[in-house]
Amino acid sequence: MRAGLIRHCSEAEGLLEAHYSDLLAGFDNPLDHLTLFPYFNNYILLSELEHGLLSRHVPGPPPARVAFVGSGPLPLSSLVLAARHLPDARFDNYDICGEANERARRLVRADEGLAARMAFRTSDVAHVTRDMAAYDVVFLAALVGMAAEEKAHVVDHLGRHMAPGAALVVRSAHGGPRVPLPGGGPGGDHAWRVRGAGRASPGG
pLDDT score, position 188: 34
> Domain spanning 2-195 has what CATH number?
3.40.50.150
Full 3-state SS string of 122-138:
ECCHHHCCHHHHHCCEE
69 with 138: CB under 8 angstroms? Answer: yes
**Per-residue exposure over 48-80, b if at least 16 CB sit within 10 Å of its own CB, e if not:** ebbbebbeeebeeebbeebbbbbbbbbbbbbbb
Distance between CA atoms of residues 15 and 79, nearest Å: 19
pLDDT score, position 191: 29
Domain spans of the chain? 2-195
Q: What is the pTM of this model?
A: 0.82
pLDDT score, position 3: 60
DSSP state of 139: E
Per-residue pLDDT of the chain (204 residues; tens, 9 = 90+): 656 655 656 677 878 999 999 999 999 999 999 999 999 999 999 999 999 988 888 878 999 999 999 999 999 999 999 999 999 999 999 999 999 999 999 999 999 999 999 999 999 999 999 999 999 999 999 888 777 788 889 999 999 999 998 999 988 765 544 444 343 333 333 323 333 322 233 345
